[in-house]
Amino acid sequence: MQATDDDNPMSRMSFFLSQITTFISRPHSGRWLLLLAVTTAIFSSACGGGGSGSPPVIQPPPPQPTGPGTSTINEAGGIPAGFQIAWSDEFNVDGLPDPMKWSYDTDRNFLGWYNNELQYYAAARPDNSSVANGSLVITARKENLDGAGLADWGGQAYSSARLVTRGKAQWTYGFIEIRAKLPCGRGTWPALWMLSSPPQSAWPDDGEIDIMEHVGFDPGVVHGTMHTLAYNHTRNNSRTATTNVPDACTAFHRYQLTWNAHQIKVGVDDRNFYQYSNDGSGNAEWPFDSAQYLIFNIAVGGDWGGQMGVDDTIFPVKMEVDYVRVYQP
């Protein structure tokens, strides 16, 4: 998820660096241009220019990235011919999510979550994750958790859940369809996405697949993104695309990933809007030949989701997932 997550421990330095680069790389802030101007000024005065009378040094434009090419597409998608269901959860059994399929990522509760997100992710807590009426329901709440007896509580004012198939199910290639209805409201940041399975675990080197992201201050705009070592938000060159799903928060839609050795496509309701291609140049641009696990979560606030603040009157908010189905040839 853009600016969402390093699911793995990063060094203190790289985390610090990512915070700085995240700060300067927000797409609408103009900070990057400002930094570029300042940097250019510094270099101009420090490295070139010479004395008065020297001709101005005209810098050539920086080389443009080659690599995956255009991200935005508009073409028919859906289940590839001949694919069969290899794994699924229809969420038909009420109660906590099936422990054979799901666990809870709570790794950063005490230290605080990446991207300055504001939530505490509860494990096996029905208030935040449950199955009812045929759907998984992830609920984000504003609540006082002080005194709730949560040993890893880091002082957060919001609770939520981050369900993962990590260690239980993972896939390399395939077609994945998640039928979901999203939470809305300013400050919400729901995501349906994937990260590389251990033992690899360096972000973004091992790749991140964002099938669906939505930020509540920009309702109805669904984002698909791949993060790699060569292309990610900390380098200000994310490969991303958006599509409009005006009723994403009031109706179920099918969020889809088509992934093979040559290309990844992301779509909604059998219409692909995003592609990321393997140009054959290696792992920095294409780390997507090894297994990834699924992550469903609602983040609250954070560098992206919280750009316009958090509206505390919206809570509780919920994301409902009718099913997730993984198809393979």
Cis preceding-peptide flag for 199 (omega within 30 of 0): yes
Among 78, 112, 126, 134, binds Ca ion (CB under 5 A): 134
Q: What are phi and psi of 168, to 5 degrees?
A: -120, -35
Q: Indicate the Cα dihedral angle 304, 309, 314, 317, nearest 10°.
A: 20
Give me the catalytic one of 75, 117, 177, 208: 208
Told to check if 98 binds Ca ion by CB under 5 A, we report: no
Of all residues in the shown chain, the one whose CB is closest to Ca ion is: 134
H, E, C per residue of 249-284? CCCCEEEEEEECCCEEEEEECCEEEEEEECCCCCCC
> Among 26-34, 128-136, 252-260, 261-269, which window interacts with Ca ion (CB under 5 A)?
128-136
Stretch touching Ca ion by CB under 5 A, among 74-82, 89-97, 139-147, 162-170: 89-97
- For the bound state, the minimum distance from the C-beta of residue 185 to Ca ion, rounded and expressed in Å, comes to 24
DSSP 56: P
Interactions with Ca ion, residue window 200-239 (CB under 5 A): none
CA–CA dist 255, 260 (Å, integer): 17
Locate all alpha helices (DSSP H) within 170-323, ordered by sequence. none
Q: What residues have CB less than 8 Å from 200, skipping those under 6 apart?
A: 206, 290
User: Does residue 91 belong to the site contacting Ca ion (CB under 5 A)?
Assistant: yes
Between the alpha carbon of residue 97 and those of residues 122, 131, 161, the distances in Å are 13, 6, 11
Q: Mask of contacts with Ca ion, 36-75, x by CB under 5 A?
A: ----------------------------------------
How far from 323 is each of 134, 137, 195, 286, 296, CA to CA, in Å? 8, 11, 20, 29, 12
Shortest distance in whole angstroms from residue 258 CB to Ca ion: 22
Of 242-250, 288-296, 297-305, 320-328: span binding Ca ion (CB under 5 A):
320-328
75 labelled catalytic: no
CB 274 within 8 A of CB 289: no
Closest listed residue to residue 4, CA positions, set 244, 234, 320: 234
Distance between CA atoms of residues 42 and 224, nearest Å = 36
The single residue among 90, 98, 107, 152 that binds Ca ion, judged by CB under 5 A, is 90
Q: Which of 205, 278, 322, 328: binder of Ca ion (CB under 5 A)? A: 322
Instruction: Using CB atoms within 10 Å of the CB of residue 5, give its burial: 0 to 12 exposed, 13 to 18 middle, 19+ buried.
Output: buried
Instruction: Determine if 88 is a binding residue for Ca ion (CB under 5 A).
Output: no
Min CB(261)–Ca ion separation in Å: 31
Q: Please count the residues of this chain forming the interface with Ca ion, following the rule CB under 5 A.
A: 5
Is residue 316 near Ca ion by the rule CB under 5 A?
A: no
Gap between the Cα atoms of 2 and 213, Å rounded: 8
C-beta of 274 vs 323, nearer to Ca ion = 323
Q: Which stretch binds Ca ion (CB under 5 A): 132-140, 194-202, 208-216, 239-247?
A: 132-140
Q: Considering only 79-87, 104-112, 116-124, 315-323, which stretch makes contact with Ca ion by CB under 5 A?
A: 315-323
- Examine residue 102 and tell whether it contacts Ca ion (CB under 5 A): no
Q: Is 177 a catalytic residue?
A: no
Q: How far is the CB of 99 from Ca ion (least distance, A)?
A: 18
**Using CB under 5 A, which of 87, 113, 114, 323 touches Ca ion?**
323
CA distance 326 to 209: 15
Interface positions with Ca ion (CB under 5 A): 90-91, 134, 322-323
Q: Which residues belong to the active site?
A: 208, 213
